[in-house]
């Protein structure tokens, strides 16, 4: 009788561990950051740059699309440099969220997208863009270049 009870308890313990213990050894994909849209993301100091992409039909000129969230307490001027070329400066107020060329919620400032001239990268390629402000360490991202075939991007073609 005792052997039967011990075997039942051991079997129940084995089933309980087998059913619940897999999360201890299994890779958890939900802990990994990913970009849920077509663009890429970056962090520069107190700035969160989200869904960065360029829209171009001919690869000559492109529209920079992104959302910037300033989590800091100071206004900043974000410098954006495309593949070693000219620098575009974007002012971002402290605590503000600014969306360039995309529809956004009421509390987000939506401004006209930035046209980058002479990018020289065909749609479907990646364009190196460097982001930096003040003394914060900058970051270079490989930004996807898309064309206007998708309805959400057709109005953004320069």
Condensed to tens digits (0 to 9), the pLDDT of residues 47-104 reads 999 999 999 998 899 999 999 999 999 999 999 999 878 889 999 999 999 988 776 5
Q: Confidence band (pLDDT; 50, 70, 90) for 112?
A: confident
CA-to-CA dists, residue 140 to 102, 131, 152, angstroms:
22, 6, 26
User: Where in the chain do CATH 2.60.40 domains reside?
Assistant: 40-154
**Phi-psi map region of 17: left, alpha, beta (phi>0 left; psi -120 to 50 alpha):** alpha
The fold of the 40-154 domain, in CATH, is: Immunoglobulin-like (2.60.40)
pTM over 0.85: no
Which residues, 6+ apart, have CB-to-CB distance to 45 below 8 Å? 72, 76, 133, 134, 136, 137
């Amino acid at each position: 009788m005792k052997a039967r009870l011990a075997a039942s308890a051991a079997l129940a313990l084995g089933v309980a561990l087998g059913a619940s213990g897999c999360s201890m050894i299994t890779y958890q994909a939900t802990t990994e950051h990913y970009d849920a849209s077509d663009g890429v993301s970056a962090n520069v100091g107190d700035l969160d740059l989200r869904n960065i992409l360029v829209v171009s039909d001919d690869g000559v000129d492109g529209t920079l699309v992104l959302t910037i969230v300033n989590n800091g307490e100071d206004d900043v001027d974000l410098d954006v440099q495309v593949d070693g070329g000219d620098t575009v400066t974007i002012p971002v107020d402290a605590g503000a969220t600014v969306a360039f060329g995309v529809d956004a919620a009421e509390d987000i400032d939506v401004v006209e997208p930035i046209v980058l001239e002479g990018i020289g990268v065909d749609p479907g390629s990646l364009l190196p863009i460097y982001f930096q402000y003040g003394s914060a360490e900058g970051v270079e991202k490989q930004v996807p270049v898309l064309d206007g075939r998708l309805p959400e991007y057709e109005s953004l073609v320069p």
